[in-house]
């Protein structure tokens, strides 16, 4: 119960990494505001829920208003995002706008709106991607947004650390979620590069990513700041296939 009495806000909370993170926060005693387009699948969990499109004009301000009623926010997890397995040549304006709007613009706006609500010792954890740390074919818009998440993390360290707020990010590799399952199972080239290329030779789970996210919000990580932590089975460090 390392987070007893603390409040966490988690976006993209309905499934996958977000849902696993919500469950881990609850296990550690935190009070959770779970945010997603649809919060139906976490309806049984003892959390505060808000169904909202973070990419909409009023989405971030609605989250901030809901969080304000819960008191100071100790943990903000920017997890909401969408995938886009497209090369730049195959990315039309609508796709680019949708991916940038959800994966990066919404994170900037939500974090800004949450700043007045953060506890002096708060922790922000941004969910990036291994694709934001290296090049990979046919993921241009997505990869650019996740690279932006990494740079946002570093920039927020410069801006917010004097207040006592810590900011870190996780960069998941191949993790089986509802969003990634079709590509893992249906794209042989992707599976070979990601699963076959992971030194641990297996697919990660949302729970394994959630464990790192929640650790970064605990006092045990009180001197961890500005890090982009890969949760990827070693894929970035030593890919076993070119």
Q: Is 136 a catalytic residue?
A: no
Q: Which of 114, 117, 121, 107 is nearest to 151 (CA)?
A: 107
Tokens of 215: 């650790």
Q: What distance in Å separates the CA atoms of residue 201 and residue 205, rounded to the nearest whole number?
A: 13
CA angle 214, 218, 220 (to 5 degrees): 120
Active-site residue, selected from the candidate residues 142, 190, 215, 235: 142
- The DSSP secondary-structure symbol of 36 reads E
233 sits in the region (left: phi over 0; alpha: psi -120 to 50; else beta) called: left
Q: Which of 165, 163, 174, 127 is nearest to 148 (CA)?
A: 127
Q: What distance in Å separates the CA atoms of residue 177 and residue 113, rounded to the nearest whole number?
A: 29
Q: What distance in Å separates the CA atoms of residue 140 and residue 164, rounded to the nearest whole number?
A: 35
Kindly give, in sequence order, each residue whose CB lies less than 8 Å from that of residue 96, ignoring residues fewer than 6 positions away.
Answer: 141
Q: What distance in Å separates the CA atoms of residue 197 and residue 154, rounded to the nearest whole number?
A: 28
**What phi and psi, each to the nearest 5 degrees, are found at residue 92?**
-80, 175
Tokens of 54: 């973070």
**What phi and psi, each to the nearest 5 degrees, are found at residue 145?**
-65, -40
Which positions are catalytic? 142
């Amino acid at each position: 119960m390392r987070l007893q009495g603390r409040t966490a806000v988690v976006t993209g909370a309905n499934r996958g990494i977000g849902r696993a993170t919500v469950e881990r926060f609850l296990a550690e005693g935190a009070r959770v505001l779970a945010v997603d387009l649809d919060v139906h699948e976490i309806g049984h969990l003892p959390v505060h829920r808000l169904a909202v499109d973070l990419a909409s004009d009023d989405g971030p301000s609605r989250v901030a208003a809901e969080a304000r009623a819960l008191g100071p926010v100790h943990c903000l997890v920017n997890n909401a995002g969408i995938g886009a397995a497209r090369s730049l040549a195959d990315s039309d304006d609508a796709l680019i706008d949708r991916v940038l709007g959800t994966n990066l613009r919404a994170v900037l706006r939500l974090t800004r709106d949450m700043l007045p609500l953060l506890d002096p010792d708060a922790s922000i954890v941004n969910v990036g991607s291994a694709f934001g740390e290296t090049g990979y074919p046919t993921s241009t818009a997505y990869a650019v947004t996740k690279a932006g998440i990494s740079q946002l993390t570093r920039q927020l360290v410069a801006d917010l650390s004097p207040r006592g707020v810590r900011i870190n990010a996780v960069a998941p590799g191949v993790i089986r979620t509802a969003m990634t399952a079709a590509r893992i199972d249906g794209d042989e080239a992707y599976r070979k590069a990601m699963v076959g290329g992971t030194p641990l030779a297996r697919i990660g789970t949302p729970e394994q990513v959630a464990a790192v996210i929640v650790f970064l919000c605990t006092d045990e990580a009180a001197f961890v700041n500005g890090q982009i932590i890969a949760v990827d089975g070693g894929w970035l460090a030593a890919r076993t296939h070119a």
